[in-house]
Amino acid sequence: MNVLLIQGANLDRLGTRQTEIYGTTSAAQLDEMLLEHARNKGVNLTIFYTNDEQEAIRRIDEAEREHCQAIMMNPGGFTDTAHDLKTRLQTLDIPYFEVHLSNVEARKIESLLAEHATGIVMGFGIDSYFAGLEGVLRHLQRRRNER
């Protein structure tokens, strides 16, 4: 099973940027934990960081060509600004799941991308990623069982 995690704008600065909101776990530490968790679940997880919306769109295009089963994304700084990314997600042929470290609703940040998400996890700090990945895996398993 292949899952792509896109880490959007500013997430490369985890652990150093606004630690009171996003925590002190660095991007490298989070990657290591997620990759180990995915390996233990038998999942090939690819993690892609970008601060460029067009790069995120290109990576989504590649994921579809590579027959990736799902995309999970923390849009970060793209959450409320990424109109081109929103348009791309409208035509996505694989499930898209959104994760956020903080509760963006409580922070009055409206996600432009949420309407295209199969599921959203937010507000659990780095645990949002693990809950999100579990949700992705359960969703894919249900789909496989329905066939």
CATH numbers and ranges of domains, the chain: 2-104+121-142 (3.40.50.9100)
pLDDT of residue 40: 96
pLDDT of residue 17: 85
Residues 6+ away with beta carbon under 8 Å from 43: 1, 2, 3, 133, 137
Residues 6+ away with beta carbon under 8 Å from 128: 74, 99, 100, 101, 121, 122
For 119, list phi and psi in degrees, rounded to 5.
-155, 155
pLDDT of residue 106: 82
What is the reported pTM? Answer: 0.94
Selecting among 22, 49, 96, 129, the annotated active-site residue is 22
Q: What stretches in the chain show pLDDT beneath 50?
A: none
Q: Which of 67, 43, 55, 64 is nearest to 6 (CA)?
A: 55
Q: What is the pLDDT of residues 10-48, one digit of tens each?
A: 999 999 988 888 889 999 999 999 999 999 999 999 999
Selecting among 49, 100, 116, 129, the annotated active-site residue is 100
100 is catalytic: yes
